[in-house]
Amino acid sequence: MAGQFRSYVWDPVLILSQIVLMQTVYYGSLGLWLALVDALVRSSPSLDQMFDSEILGFSTPPGRLSMMSFILNALTCALGLLYFIRRGKQCLDFTVTVHFFHLLGCWFYSSRFPSALTWWLVQAVCIALMAVIGEYLCMRTELKEIPLNSAPKSNV
């Protein structure tokens, strides 16, 4: 163990708690973005906006607004990666995990596998944005200089 900067220990409780936390951040912020967009256009909120793959689309205003909410949510979740994961190497793993559980949630909610091309495109864009921006933010904090105090401490 001597000579290592950081020891890597497999901690399943930490990993599971981080997964649950990132799912909470994902759905909490997505709900807030959808509620904000719905309030701006005076539309009634629905779980279909979050879980129905047929809602997303370029042809209707609600579809475009939902797509915008998903993309803004990817940016918000990148901040979640920065504050709760804090490791650039793990950003892609947690991003794919969050979106995999979202895929399962959509499949369970609508009782069919998502087949809309726009849903898959939006999810791919969101995965790319969340992973790249989250990794960039985490790497920036990881590369900060470690402050060293050269003055000796004395308790005389």
The string of pLDDT tens digits covering residues 61-74 is 888 889 999 999 99
Say what the pLDDT of residue 1 is: 46
pLDDT score of 87 more than 50: yes
Say what the pLDDT of residue 57 is: 86
Better pLDDT: 39 or 145: 39
Sequence-ordered alpha helix ranges (H) in the chain: 12-41, 48-51, 61-80, 91-110, 117-142
For the residues 118-125, what does the mean pLDDT come to? 95
Question: CA-CA distances (angstroms) from residue 127 to 61, 65, 106, 123?
Answer: 23, 18, 16, 6
Question: CA-CA distances (angstroms) from residue 18 to 14, 29, 60, 83, 134?
Answer: 6, 16, 36, 11, 15
pLDDT band at 33 (very low <50, low <70, confident <90, very high): very high
The SS3 of residue 149 is: coil
